[in-house]
Amino acid sequence: MLQKTLILLAFLHMSFFAQAVAAEHHCTNPPQVTIVSPHQESFAEICKATGKALIFLGQFGLELNRGITIEIVEKLIDEDVYVAYGKYDSGTDRIRLMSYSAIFSTVEKPMMYGEPFDRVHYFGIFAHEMAHAVIRDYIKNEKYSMVPQEYLAHATQLATMPEERRKKVLTVMDVEAWEGGDSISHIYMALNPGKFAAKSYLHLMSTANPSAFVQILLNNNWFYVYVPKEAKTSDAR
């Protein structure tokens, strides 16, 4: 009898564990997105953030033509020299992103774009990583893709934020858009990621032909991106 009880308990434990690990949520909009999480998340907000990213990128002819899985994890996602809250892995074609609680339990006073990290910034990361997943199919030379990808991913992240919060971020960053003749480099991005993001968003939203510049990014064949001189539209703030 004891043996049967132990077997039953072990089975129930394994079933519960499997259910927790394998829990999935399929977004209605966008339908391409599946979220895998060991516990309940703000699924509706995650779906909304990824959907807004796809709408924004769709303006430039960049579309997600496949299903993508977002995995919520409870541990640090380590990059080469810094801790990343999220990452798109082109090898597995999967987005991994720390849970909101995991970020606060592992990082002391997390910040983003010069502000204390909060839910607005958290959902912004989903938009950022979704941009990476979309761009993968359009980049012509992966060897030189860091700057173009981060330009578009950060621009997407800022574009999908609530307008008032975006204005606050741009005010804090206190920079102007990239100008004709500038070289957008990974060095500037590494030294000033928030300012890099703000300059990229402001440039994309104020340049006369944003779709044409997106094509320059996607076809880039060097470690930096040269900004051509052209007219600007109205202030993007």
Which helix (H) or strand (E) is 35 found in, with range?
A: strand 33-36
pLDDT of residue 15: 38
**Signed CA dihedral, 56, 59, 62, 67: sign only:** positive
The CA angle 26-32-34, to the nearest 5 degrees, is 35
- Count CB-CB contacts under 10 A for residue 182: 17
> Distance (Å, rounded) from C-alpha 27 to C-alpha 53?
14
Give yes or no for a contact between 155 and 200, defined as CB atoms under 8 angstroms apart. Answer: yes
- Pick among 1.25.40, 1.10.15, 1.10.390, 3.40.50: CATH of 23-226: 1.10.390
Domains in the chain: boundaries: 23-226
What length does the chain have?
Answer: 237
> Distance (Å, rounded) from C-alpha 205 to C-alpha 106?
35
> Distance (Å, rounded) from C-alpha 53 to C-alpha 47?
10
- Count CB-CB contacts under 10 A for residue 127: 26
**19 falls in which pLDDT band (50, 70, 90)?**
very low
pLDDT of residue 38: 82
The CA angle 17-130-216, to the nearest 5 degrees, is 155
pLDDT of residue 234: 52
The pTM assigned to this predicted structure is: 0.87
Per-residue pLDDT of 73-124, as tens digits, reads 998 887 655 678 999 999 999 999 999 999 999 989 999 999 999 999 999 9
Structure tokens belonging to residue 200: 């990229």
Give yes or no for a contact between 206 and 161, defined as CB atoms under 8 angstroms apart. Answer: no
* Statement: residue 20 has pLDDT above 70: no
> Distance (Å, rounded) from C-alpha 148 to C-alpha 214?
8
Helix spans in 136-162 (H): 146-159
pLDDT of residue 236: 61
pLDDT of residue 117: 97
Mean pLDDT of 123-127: 98
Mean pLDDT of 208-216: 97
Phi, psi of 232 (to 5 degrees): -110, 155
| 186: helix, strand or coil | helix
